[in-house]
Amino acid sequence: MKAKTLFAATAVIALGISAIGTATQTRAARGTTAIETVVPTDLQATWDVLIRELNSGEFQINATIRVLLQSKIPSPWVDCGSLTVNSKHKIFGDRNYKFLAANSVRYLVADEEVDELIDVERRTTLNALAVIKLTPTRGGTLVNVDAHYVMKFRTREFGRKITPRVLDESIDFDSAGRATVTEEIREGWKMKVVTFVCRPTGALERQIVSILEAPVS
């Protein structure tokens, strides 16, 4: 008898099991055979029992787990390079900054034309969805980790004598990819245009795999 294949999926903390079959439209026309029920075991125990029992039968189990990462400090997970800002003013003095472009920062620059300190607030956030696929193979389990990253950039300027600029940008890329974002950076009354290239550091993927490689105590 040819073994059937069952895909088990968990999205963050939700556990869903679905059997892949054929003639979906025909079944829908006759009515569903889906079941929704409550079992008296917690999530971990339920998962362990289900995997153990199904794996002992004629099913081949391919598990897919989705892990969501949300970070207000993206630099451990995404590399966008660095940014320098230099401001010079005869009254307000020199102001020099260097920071990681992936992270949020707030700084002051002097506008020589209106003789005012401009407050610049640059905010970044990261959402990443890692998909972990576990497939039984000879000698163990094949582990595949691939993530999709979404970086958001939001800049606001505050000053009484200027026309504030607003930036709202979003870029996305996968574990093997990269994306660019172009910003106008205020250094006083002048602006400089900078293009950042963002790519994964690999820390998310490595951290997930390291959990499985660590010896069980």
Angle in degrees, CA 166, 192, 97, rounded to 5: 90
Domain count within the chain: 1
99 within domain boundaries: yes
205 vs 130: CA distance, rounded Å: 8
pLDDT at residue 138 in the model: 80
pLDDT at residue 195 in the model: 96
pLDDT exceeds cutoff 50 at 126: yes
Q: Which DSSP string corresponds to 135-180?
A: EEETTEEEEEEEEEEEEEEEEEEE-SSS---EEEEEEEEETT--EE
What pTM was estimated for this model as a whole?
Answer: 0.74
pLDDT at residue 42 in the model: 83
Calculate what percentage of the chain has a pLDDT beyond 70. 83
168 within domain boundaries: yes
If residue 185 lies in a helix (H) or strand (E), which one and from where to where?
A: strand 179-186
17 vs 174: CA distance, rounded Å: 26
64 within domain boundaries: no
CB atoms closer than 10 angstroms to residue 56 = 8
**What sign has the CA pseudo-torsion 171, 194, 188, 161?**
negative
pLDDT (tens digit per residue) in 21-71: 333 344 444 577 777 788 888 878 887 888 778 777 677 677 788 999 999
Q: What is the residue type of 142?
A: L
b (16+ CB within 10 A) / e for 168-203 = eeebebebeeebebebebbbbeeeeeeebebbbeee
40 within domain boundaries: no
Six token digits for residue 8: 């088990």
pLDDT at residue 151 in the model: 97
As a whole number, mean pLDDT of residues 157-185 equals: 92
111 is in which domain, residue-wise? Answer: 70-126+149-200
107 within domain boundaries: yes
pLDDT confidence of 147, banded at 50, 70, 90?
very high
190 within domain boundaries: yes
131 within domain boundaries: no
Q: Any idea what DSSP says for residue 3?
A: P
Report whether 109 contacts 118 (CB < 8 A). Answer: yes
41 within domain boundaries: no
